[in-house]
Amino acid sequence: MATFLILAILALILGNIFLQGGTGLSPRFIFGNADKDMFDVASAGVWPMVFGTAARVILMTLFVIPVGVTTAIYLTEYAPALSPFTRIIRGAVNNLAGVPSIVFGLFGLGFFISAVGGTLDVFLYPDSPKPVWGKAALIWASLTLAVMTLPVVIVATEESLRAIPLGLREASLALGATKLQTVLRVVLPQALPGILTGGILAVSRAAGEVAPILFTGAAYYMASLPQSLTDQFMDLAYHVFVLSTQSPDIEKTRPILYGTVVVLLLLTFALNLVAILIRARVRRNLRRLA
Amino acid sequence: MLVGATNSSLAQEYREIIPPEDFARVPPDRLRQYLGLTRQQFEQMDEETLKDLMSLRIEAKAQMPDDPDAELNTTEWRYLLGPHQWTGYDRPAYIWQPVSQIHKYNLLPLFIGSLKTTFVALLFAVPLAIAAALYVSQLAHPRAREWLKPGIELLSGIPSVVLGFFALIVMASFFQALFGYPSRLNAFVAGLALGLAVIPVVFSIAEDALTSVPRSYTEAALALGSTRWQAAWQIVLPAALPGVFAATVLGFGRAIGETMIVLMASGNASIVSWNLFDSTRTLTATIAAELAETVVGGHHYRVLFLLGALLFAVTFVANLVGDLVIHRLKGRLEGRR
């Protein structure tokens, strides 16, 4: 049966990865540095990559949550349901979700780095021979990912806003609260878990993406952790790509490769699991309310 | 138009010459573009090296091949899409060779590459995903459904770079040992791995469409004496057929836009061949592999952005069609209820 064939393939992939990679996993590997030789099985660690990935997704949430949540609030609470403008926004959000990730990479390079960063350099550092903002950097990678994950946050927030009973809003309005007060103090707190789910799903999606950060910030190798927003960074998902395609001896570096994959998978699965648990709890609470 | 402003003709490139004596008079950015260097390369060179490069360029102009192809602007549409009789080839050919002396930008090898991998992916993923969706939504016990559905959706939680890694390290060797074809990385291996990324997309959309078929359809069929399997196969599936179509179209959009899997597992040789077991270069992998090496604003850079725009247009249409079909189907099914 097809269902079980799919599950069997899934089990095969995960089994292969975890069986081969689980053994190489140790605190030294996760928290160790890679500054001597990142292809050396005995000493290389993945801490710089874990740090880089964490930095870029945390920064991304700072950008994506405010924009995504306000858009969702506007769409569900304020926008007239059938106006052409609302339809255009919805269509755009839907479409954004289907744009290939490499196209976001191109967008990040063309818009954030060349247009925004380049302009900043012209005004802020007209004398600097080297570009300061107009180059691949942590902040541009985060912004690119924020644009990419915007639909995830909007859809999750909208879903949780729509699940809140209309009676709650009406009761608040009947007690004399303004529309804004109702949204901020009654609706939003109820929707918080849903927003959180959206944020976590966005993070887990972004953590595994490589294509959008290829040109916007990920570094093949860096001797130190990124110090500022304009530094490049090493990245866990990109490191999987580097280790599997650029390794000088693929058989020798296999343990690091599998170990890195396991760390990446554990990270994304853990985030997904948290999101699923929160969502299940929200749905239970809502059923009780309704 | 994206390409209109560029000219990749070699003759054009060498037409203007800046003598090394003018080094101090030329703005650095202008000089960098003139020498065709990336920013990083430019920063690392001292004045002497740059001057050497400038005189090398003058020599290169003197030695410019006496080749009619050098006069061509290869970014014109007819060279991007049509075959051309390049010097040294015995017949007109479609060639993608952007870093050769004559920059050849024919897109056809890349189109074929993308279509080949997408075709394999859909052939593998669509039947599996739809059969699974039919089973989970119609036949499975509700308790089993509770864990089957998230189980399959777990596939979408695997980052594409991990699927690419798996295809490159494990699947490629396994299938080569099994079938014994010469090229270890090819459209077939990449397509299978791509299929794994497409399955959860097709599955969740098809499952959603199948679930939204009213229960009364199944109940009526069962009351008339059909088995559960007959009801699912002959009543529910036809009723949700547009949804299945939409799932396939959206799966196509996902497959053609996927980058890391094909970059790692397809072999990346830009040859015109419909053989699934030949090494293959796709649109997405080309952008990913080549953009970092190009001169910002140069013709190669712009052609890669053109590829990005084409990808955007294709996925845009796929998503639009998919969404419209689903919207209509749901309206119809829910309207009748």
- DSSP class of residue B36? T
- B27-53 per-residue burial string, b: 16 or more CB within 10 A, e: under 16: eeeebbebbebeeeebeeeeeeebeeb
| Res B268 pLDDT > 60 | yes
Q: Which residue has the higher pLDDT, B15 or A194?
A: A194
For the ranges A215-229, A235-249, B43-57, the maximum mean pLDDT occurs at: A235-249
The domain B108-336: what is its CATH number?
1.10.3720.10
Residue A224 touches partner B, C-beta closer than 8 Å: no
A16, A97, A100: residue with CB nearest B170: A16
Q: Helix (H, G, I), strand (E, B), or coil: what is residue B162?
A: helix
Nearest of A195, A202, A191, A208 to residue A97 by alpha carbon: A202
Candidates B38, B145, B158, B281, partner chain A, best to mutate (most A CBs within 10 A): B158
| Mean pLDDT lowest among A19-28, A97-106, B141-150, B208-217 | A19-28
| Res B287 pLDDT > 90 | yes
The two tokens of residue B15 are: 């037409």
Segment B30-57 shows an average pLDDT of: 76
- pLDDT tier, B312 (very low <50, low <70, confident <90, very high otherwise): very high
Nearest of B100, B155, B110 to residue B270 by alpha carbon: B110
- pLDDT tier, A209 (very low <50, low <70, confident <90, very high otherwise): very high
CB-CB under 8 Å, B250 with A208: no
Given a contact cutoff of 8 angstroms between Cβ atoms, the answer to whether B191 and B117 are in contact is yes
Given a contact cutoff of 8 angstroms between Cβ atoms, the answer to whether B45 and B89 are in contact is no
Segment B48-72 shows an average pLDDT of: 74
State the pLDDT at residue A150.
95
pLDDT digits (tens, 9 = 90+) for A71-80: 999 999 898 8
Residue A162 covered by a domain: yes
- pLDDT tier, A21 (very low <50, low <70, confident <90, very high otherwise): confident
State the pLDDT at residue B3.
43
State the pLDDT at residue A265.
92
Place of tokens 């709890």: A281
Closest CA of chain B from A253, distance in Å: 12
Chain B partners within 8 Å of A237 (Cβ): 159, 161
Distance CA A143, CA A120 (A): 16
- pLDDT tier, A173 (very low <50, low <70, confident <90, very high otherwise): very high
Query: For residue B190, which amino acid is it?
Result: A
- pLDDT tier, B2 (very low <50, low <70, confident <90, very high otherwise): very low
Between chain A and chain B, how many beta carbons pairs sit less than 8 Å apart? 158
Helix axis angle, B299-336 to B187-211, nearest 10°: 30
Segment A246-253 shows an average pLDDT of: 84
Chain B partners within 8 Å of A90 (Cβ): none
Distance CA A272, CA A265 (A): 10
| Res B337 pLDDT > 50 | no
Segment A53-74 shows an average pLDDT of: 93
Measured between alpha carbons, how far is residue A22 from residues A41, A254, A255, A261, A265 in Å?
Answer: 15, 12, 9, 10, 11
A6, A241, A254: residue with CB nearest B128: A6
Distance CA B243, CA B323 (A): 9
State the pLDDT at residue B189.
94
Distance CA B135, CA B140 (A): 6
| Res B64 pLDDT > 70 | no
Residue A6 covered by a domain: no
Measured between alpha carbons, how far is residue B207 from residues A99, B199, B200, B254, B266 in Å?
Answer: 22, 12, 10, 17, 30
State the pLDDT at residue B20.
74
Q: Helix (H, G, I), strand (E, B), or coil: what is residue B230?
A: helix
Residue A235 covered by a domain: yes
State the pLDDT at residue B14.
62
Distance CA B202, CA B125 (A): 8
State the pLDDT at residue B292.
85
Residue A12 covered by a domain: no
Q: Helix (H, G, I), strand (E, B), or coil: what is residue B9?
A: coil
Segment B3-18 shows an average pLDDT of: 61
Domain residue ranges of chain B, discontinuous segments joined by +: 10-105, 108-336
| Res B75 pLDDT > 90 | no
Closest CA of chain A from B68, distance in Å: 34
| Mean pLDDT lowest among A97-111, B135-149, B189-203 | B135-149
Given a contact cutoff of 8 angstroms between Cβ atoms, the answer to whether B245 and B260 are in contact is no
Nearest of A223, A225, A228, A261 to residue A242 by alpha carbon: A261
Helix axis angle, B283-290 to B108-134, nearest 10°: 120
Phi, psi dihedral angles at B278 (to 5 degrees): -90, 150
Segment A193-202 shows an average pLDDT of: 88
State the pLDDT at residue A240.
93
- A139-172 per-residue burial string, b: 16 or more CB within 10 A, e: under 16: bbbbbbbbbbbbbbbbbbbbbbbebbeeeebeeb
Residues 6+ apart with CB under 8 A from A174: none
Closest CA of chain B from A83, distance in Å: 17
CA A52 to chain centroid, in Å, comes to 13
CATH number at residue A197: 1.10.3720.10
Model confidence pTM above 0.90 = no
CB-CB under 8 Å, A214 with B151: no
Residue A2 covered by a domain: no
| Mean pLDDT lowest among A32-36, A41-45, A206-210, B269-273 | A32-36
| Res B281 pLDDT > 50 | yes
Candidates B312, B316, B324, partner chain A, best to mutate (most A CBs within 10 A): B312
Residue A216 covered by a domain: yes
Residues 6+ apart with CB under 8 A from B260: A210, A211, A241, B160, B161, B163, B164, B288
Distance CA A203, CA B150 (A): 19
Distance CA A268, CA A24 (A): 19
Segment B20-48 shows an average pLDDT of: 75
Residue A211 touches partner B, C-beta closer than 8 Å: yes
Residues of B (78-97) whose Cβ lies below 8 Å from A: none
Chain B partners within 8 Å of A17 (Cβ): 162, 166
| Res B5 pLDDT > 60 | no
pLDDT digits (tens, 9 = 90+) for A106-150: 999 999 998 999 889 888 888 877 888 888 899 999 999 999 999
Chain B partners within 8 Å of A251 (Cβ): none
CB-CB under 8 Å, A106 with B291: yes
CB-CB under 8 Å, B168 with A100: no
- Torsion (CA) A212, B288, B28, A139 in degrees, nearest 10: 10
Range of the domain at A52: 17-289
| Mean pLDDT lowest among A21-30, A247-256, B28-37, B285-294 | B28-37
Segment B204-225 shows an average pLDDT of: 91
State the pLDDT at residue A30.
82
Segment A4-17 shows an average pLDDT of: 90
Residue A156 covered by a domain: yes
pLDDT digits (tens, 9 = 90+) for A79-94: 887 888 888 888 889 8
| Res A3 pLDDT > 50 | yes
Residue % of chain B over a pLDDT of 90? 44
Other C-beta atoms lying within 10 Å of the C-beta of residue A53: 27
Distance CA A264, CA A53 (A): 10
Around A259, how many Cα atoms within 13 Å sit in the side-chain half-sphere? 27
| Res B78 pLDDT > 50 | yes
Residue A8 covered by a domain: no
Given a contact cutoff of 8 angstroms between Cβ atoms, the answer to whether A179 and A170 are in contact is no
State the pLDDT at residue B86.
81
